[in-house]
Each structure stands twice: as structure tokens, then as C-alpha cells.
Structure 1
Amino acid sequence: MDTPFKVKIKIESIDIDNLNHVNNAVYVKWMDNVAREHWAFLTKDNPLEEFIWVVSRHEIDYKNEAFLGDEITAKTWVGNTRGVTSERFIEFYKGTVLLAKSRTVWVLLNATTFKPARIRENILNLLLPAK
């Protein structure tokens, strides 16, 4: 993995379920937010508004609990990208403790037609910069 993009998250009362820890569905919301923040960062100089991303698959492994007031760091990076799909990994940490890790398959769509759009070299270079 190259240096991951990082996002800080402060757990609020709305994130907590009846077991007094972060609800599993909240991680899905965070995964979406982290991916969008990373895409916004990558395209800050060239927004590429003609494209949107949608999820086709989520996989999440929950490892430890997080509680109200905890500060979480989400680390994300892009994996296998070809055709119309791109794989994104996210790991959530409280300090050095891994809380959850995920893999999401995203599909690139044309923002006007909502049809799948091939990931061309300009986007591939943003997602997977040369080493």
C-alpha cells in the first residue's frame, strides 16, 4: 500500500447504538464519506463533474469497538482498477487499534446518462499515481 489518505472522525451520540458502541451501519456511512473526501482531494484541481461513483459491493470486517467521544482515523487507498470498476480499501483505527477494515467496489458512471463509464487513463492516473 502507498501512503494512505487519512480522515479524522469524532464519534458523536448519533453514531451510537443500543449496545453503547458505534453501530455497524455507521461504518458504511463513514466509508462513503471517506471515499468522497478522497475523490474530492484527488480532483481538487480538475473536478471531473461529468462522472459519479456508485457502490456495487461492500465487505466489512469488524475487529474492535468504538465508543462515544472516541477519535477515529480512517485510512484509505485504491486497489485494483480496470474497466468501469475500482476497488477501495479503508481501515478504521482508534490510536493503533484496528476497529474495522473494508473493501468496496465502486463503479464509475457518466453523470448525465448514469451508464457505466470506462475508467480512462486520466482517472487511473489520479487513483493510482505512478510510483
Structure 2
Amino acid sequence: MIPIPFQLDLKVTSKHLDEQNHVNNLQYMKWVLDISEAHWVAKTPSEIREKYAWFVLDHYIQYKQQAFLGEELTITTWIENYSKVRSERRVHITRKTDGKTIVEARTNWCFIDQQTKKPTRITSEVVKPYFEFESA
């Protein structure tokens, strides 16, 4: 099983900056959540998205470099692994000009039923669009 990465590009604008004139740490967290949502919407049929959702259990984020106004960044995400009701998603943010890693993040998510708001089993139907499955 090989994760299929999903990418978005963006340009740092003044609204992303903090008082030190580099990207605010909270902005990186927002980008982690935004790309996670974009990946879910892009790869999952609406009938599944209407029945199920994801709740964050925890985030782990490492700030490797700073990013500044006008820089172009690539945000890449993939599902690292999953179990019965949990999934680990990775996000890497890199600078396009030099390929340097700006941020590495790991988020653990719980899969829930939209009606009951309780954890529910992650089925093969849910994960199939996110992985290449090796043939035996």
C-alpha cells in the first residue's frame, strides 16, 4: 500500500505574516487543516463525506525554516497509515525556489459518523482513493 500524495501551491501574502514579518505559526496550522480538508473533498465522493467526518486527535508540527512575503510554497499531504477508526496524516510544506522544508506536520484523526458523532470503522471504500495497492 503506497500513499498517493496531494499538493497545493500558494504564495505568502501579508495576511500570513506575524509581527516578525515571517509566516505566523498559526498560519501553518491553518494550512495543515486546509490541505487536509481539500484532500478529503477532492478524493472522497460526496455521499461518503455527507455520512462521515474527521476529528483531530492531536497535532505534531516541526518548524524547520521561516517563510517570508512573496515566497511560493508547496504543501504536500498524504495518509501515512490508518487503523480501525484512526488515521495519521502527514503534511510537508516546502519552498519552491530551493526545495527546503519549511514545516513537517503529523496529525492523528478519528473517523466519525456524522449522525452519532461517534468513532466509526474506516472501510476500504473510504481509503481506496488515497493509496495505490500493490498487486500480489
SS at match of 2:108: strand
Q: 1:53 to 1:23 in 2, by over 3 A?
A: same
Shift of 1:82: 0.6
Runs of 4+ in 1 over 6 A off after TM superposition: none
SS at match of 2:109: strand
Shift of 1:38: 0.7
Shift of 1:2: 4.4
Higher relative contact order (CA 8 A, sep 6+): 2
Which string of whole-angstrom CA distances, capped at 9 and with x for unpartnered residues, describes residues 72-109 of structure 1?
Answer: 10011111201111000010011211101000001111
1:75 aligned to 2:86?
A: no
How many percent of aligned residue pairs carry the same amino acid? 34
TM-score by length of 1: 0.92
- Structure 1 equivalent of residue 100 of structure 2: 97
Structure 2 gap segments, 5+ residues each: none
- Over aligned residues, Cα RMSD in angstroms? 1.3
- Match for residue 118 of structure 1 among 95, 118, 121: 121
Which amino acid in the other structure matches residue 120 of structure 1?
A: T
Give the whole-Å Cα distance in 2 for the aligned partners of 1:113 and 1:64.
41
Give the whole-Å Cα distance in 1 for the aligned partners of 2:84 and 2:3.
22
CA contact (8 A) 2:3 2:132 kept: no
Taking the TM superposition and a 5 Å limit, the aligned residue runs for 1:1-131 are 2-43=3-44, 46-47=45-46, 48=48, 49-95=50-96, 96-131=99-134
Structure 1 gap segments, 5+ residues each: none
Give the whole-Å Cα distance in 2 for the aligned partners of 1:25 and 1:102.
13
TM-score by length of 2: 0.89
